[in-house]
Amino acid sequence: MSEIWTRMMSGEPYDAGHPELLDKLQTTRKLIYEFNNLSPERNDERMAIIRRLLGGCGRNIHINSPFRCDYGCNIVVGENFFANFNLTILDENRVTIGDNAFIGPNVSIYTACHPLDATTRNKLVEWALPVTVGHNVWIGGNAVILPGVTIGDNVVVGAGAVVTRSVPADSVVAGNPARVLRKI
C-alpha cells in the first residue's frame, strides 16, 4: 500500500486530491457507470462488475441501480444483502455490512470527514473513519449513516434517520439525530 492510502485507511488526515487517489476514483467511476447502465436482464454481468468492484461480498446479493461509491474496494457486504435504489457509500475507509442486511432507497453511508476550518478544508484535507453494520439490519429509506458509526446486530434504522452515534444491538433507532426508541 502507498503512503497516501495508508494514511487514508488509518484515519489520519490526508490529501484527498492526491493523484493516486484521483486515479483510483476515476477507475471506480468507470465501473459504476458500466454497472448503472446495464439493462436489468443482464444481471450476471451486473453482478460480475459488483464482485470486481467490492472488497468482498456474499454469493446472494442484489443492488438496484443506481449505486454509487468512491473506491468500492473498501466495502464488504455479507450474505443475503439487498440494497434498493440510490445507495451511496463514500468508502474512504472500510465499510463492513453483515449478513441479511436490507437497505432502503436513497440511503447514504459516509466515512469521509472534513475540517470545520474553511482554509484547511479548501486544501482538500480530510480523514475517514470506518462504518460497521451488523447482521440482520434493516436501514429505512433516506437514512444517513455518518463516519465512525457501528450499528449492532438486529437493528432497525427508521426512514430518514441520521445516525451520528453507534447503535446497540437489538434496537430501533429513528430521528435526527437518531435515538434509540426501543429494544427489540
User: Which residue numbers are catalytic?
Assistant: 114
> What separation in angstroms does the CA of 74 have from each of 2, 60, 89, 157?
15, 19, 10, 23
How far apart are alpha carbons 108 and 83 in whole angstroms? 11
Query: 3-state class of 165 per DSSP?
Result: coil
Query: Cα separation of 102 and 179, whole Å?
Result: 20
**Percentages of the chain per state (helix, strand, coil), in multiples of 5:** 20, 30, 45
CA distances for 121 relative to 6, 27, 113, 130, angstroms: 20, 25, 10, 20
The residues with which 151 forms a beta bridge, in sequence order, are: 133, 167
C-alpha cell belonging to residue 95: 465499510
The x, y and z cell numbers of residue 133, run together, are 453494520
**Considering all CA atoms of the chain, what is the largest pairwise distance in Å, rounded to the nearest integer?**
48
